[in-house]
Amino acid sequence: MVELKTKHEPMVPSRRPSIIRSLLFQRLLALSTVLLLTLPTLNADEIGKQVWLDVNPRWYSKDDLKVTGVFGVRQALNKNEWTRYVVKPSVAYSLSHGFDIGAGLGMNYTNNIDVDAITLPDRFAIVPFQGLNYVYLLTKQWKFNAYLRLEEKFDYDTLDWESRNSLRLRLRLRGIYEFAAYQTERYFRATLSWEGFKTAAGTDGLITDKSRITLGLERSFTHNQKGRVELTWQRQSLGIVSGDSFDDYSDIYLRVRYYPSWGDVIRNKFWHSD
């Protein structure tokens, strides 16, 4: 008797889970946009809305150095309106996998400031900062991230160039979940974070952040390009006059970020912690 041999085709992983994730990503983007546009209308006197657009270029050395930048614009749309332009170069050094230190210099210019139909002078702020960043791998897919930053802020009124100077602390706690995209070696990352701000000394600037809660979704396009969409609720204060007279209010903003990278992206220690 001749034994017939059947040729077995290699199993091809089903693409259905990846397709479902891709559709989920698109639905989340649509939902984020709808929330941004409709939530403020529920109580227009209490909740403002903003849009933030950022380009975040990064360069990686062969081992443990990373140079980054932020070039962005922020637009407040319906409450205490203003437009802000941001430039923020920085450098970070990896002490070990998952733990790094860094420093940078933030600069922003805020114009078209309209508060209760009152036009205020433009503001120019210089913000040197130093930070500690830690990423802990909980599992292959889950990460925990803690970031502590010290900022020295010099907030100038461009009419008379008087400044409000302050020293403040920022702490961000973030959970990260990574899963495969429908393309080989590409990924999605879902993030949820809380960030708090505390003025340690000096006087807060005209517009000062207090706290944030952010839901984000990130997608890699190639090994050196990725994008992220975030929806954030934040508490801010507005100081119209000098002294301690500040008005707290809430904002919801949509942030779109694009990350182009150069250098030894994969071999650098930051590869698994960025």
CATH number, domain of 233, equals 2.40.128
Count: domains in the chain: 1
pLDDT at 43: 52
83 token code pair: 């437009």
Residue 22, in any domain of the structure? yes
**Domain assignment present for 186:** yes
Range of the domain at 173: 16-272
The letter for the amino acid at 187 is Y
Provide the β-strand partners of residue 142: 177
In a domain, 1, yes or no: no
Ramachandran sector of residue 243 (left: φ over 0; alpha: ψ -120 to 50; beta: rest): left
What is the structure's pLDDT at 249?
75
Q: Tell me, yes or no, whether 3 lies in a domain.
A: no
**What are residue 105's DSSP bridge partners?**
128
Let me know if residue 70 belongs to a domain. Answer: yes
Residue 2 within any structural domain of the chain:
no
Residue 66 resides in a domain? yes
Across the chain, which has 274 residues, the per-10-residue mean pLDDT values are 45 49 57 56 65 96 92 86 95 91 97 80 95 93 95 93 92 94 84 93 78 94 92 80 61 94 82 68
β-pairing, 142-157 vs 163-180, is antiparallel
In order of 35, 110, 118, the CA distances from 31 in angstroms are 6, 29, 34
- What six digits make up the tokens of 253? 């903003």
Task: Answer yes or no: is 4 within a domain.
Answer: no
pLDDT at 262: 93
pTM: 0.79
